[in-house]
Structures are given as C-alpha cells and as structure tokens.
Amino acid sequence: MAGSPLPLLFLDVDGPLIPFGATREQRPDGYPTFGASGPNPLVTRIDPAHGPRLRALPCEPVWATTWSSDANECIAPWLGLPELPVVTWPEPSDEDERYGLHWKTPPLVRWAAGRPFAWVDDEITDVDRAWVEAHHPGQALLHRVEAWRGLTGADFSALDAWLRRNAG
C-alpha cells in the first residue's frame, strides 16, 4: 500500500554497535577503536561506517537500548545520524522473565502498534520470536547479533533485504 510508513528498526547499542565479550581467540588483537574518545570512551568502538549503512536502510530507526537519550547525545553524532526516537522502558515483569521472554519484547510490540519492525539485539531468543508472532499482527524480524562481533556486512544485507520487502 503506497504511502504506508516505513518499517521500524529497533536498534540496541551494547552488542550490535559496541561489541563486547570476545575471547582472545575471537579477537586476538582486541577490539578496534575508531578515533579519539568523546563523551563516552565506548563510543570509539563503534565503527563510524555503520552510520551511512544505517541511513541507507529503508526504515524509521528507533533507539531500543538502555542508553536511552544518551544514544542521541553520544552515538547519533558519532554515526552522523539525526536525533532518533527513544523507547522508554517500563519496569520489567518478573512473570515475563520467568518464562524466558526478554523484558524489551512486550514494550517493542506495543511501540510498533502493528507496524512492520525489525529488532536488532544480542539477547533475542526463540521465546521472543514466538511471543512476537503470537502478539504482533504485522511483519517482524527479530535479528540476533553476536555481542562479541557486533553488526557485520551480512547483518546489514539481511536487514536491508527484509526492510525492502516490508516497506510500504
């Protein structure tokens, strides 16, 4: 349907943008840094080339991170992104977590309000996928990224293909 809003892209920071937790064998030389530190030294571990790649995706990006508004203050300028909407997190439900559901999952489905969305995070599980399928009437891609590696070219290709298929 022409004129439909673009799909949402819910973007986590720690893991997808800022890799962490690699073993010595996975990253023998440590994590790369991409310049002098700014307001937060972790930001220099974010590849600034991710900015143009994110801007090229046919979507409406939204910060879905515990960085909250700090993502707009520290990360958006580093990546050359405009200020993005930020998901405000409610208190997590012990019941959801008891069954293995990630605490972000219900708020993201509420935020999407039926719109197609892709969610990029390093903590997504099959429980989250099943819950979204049962509770979200639109299309959804829950794309898990390895925290130790962060977003890769293959991740961007998969996101781009899915977003283009689901763009109005």
Q: For residue 137, what are the domain limits?
A: 8-166
70 within domain boundaries: yes
37 within domain boundaries: yes
Phi/psi of residue 11, nearest 5 degrees: -120, 115
Give the domain CATH number at 113: 3.40.50
> Is it the case that residue 26 has pLDDT exceeding 90?
no
2 within domain boundaries: no
> Is it the case that residue 95 has pLDDT exceeding 70?
no
Count of residues making up the chain = 168
Distances (CA, A) of 21 to 15, 16, 90, 123, 147: 9, 12, 27, 13, 7
- Mean pLDDT in residue range 45-52: 94
113 within domain boundaries: yes
Let me know the angle formed at the C-alpha of 26 by 21 and 29, rounded to the nearest 5 degrees: 95
pLDDT score for 18: 94
117 within domain boundaries: yes
Token representation of residue 163: 């977003």
Task: Report how far residue 163's alpha carbon sits from residue 103's, in angstroms, rounded to the nearest whole number.
Answer: 24
3 within domain boundaries: no
Task: Report how far residue 78's alpha carbon sits from residue 67's, in angstroms, rounded to the nearest whole number.
Answer: 15
The number of folded domains in the chain is 1
- Mean pLDDT in residue range 29-58: 85
Q: Which amino acid is at 123?
A: E
Quick: pLDDT tens for 106-141.
999 999 999 999 999 999 999 999 999 999 999 999
* Helix or strand holding residue 8 (H, E): strand 8-11
- Mean pLDDT in residue range 20-38: 77
pLDDT score for 161: 98
**What integer best gives the mean pLDDT of the chain?**
91
Task: Report how far residue 24's alpha carbon sits from residue 43's, in angstroms, rounded to the nearest whole number.
Answer: 21
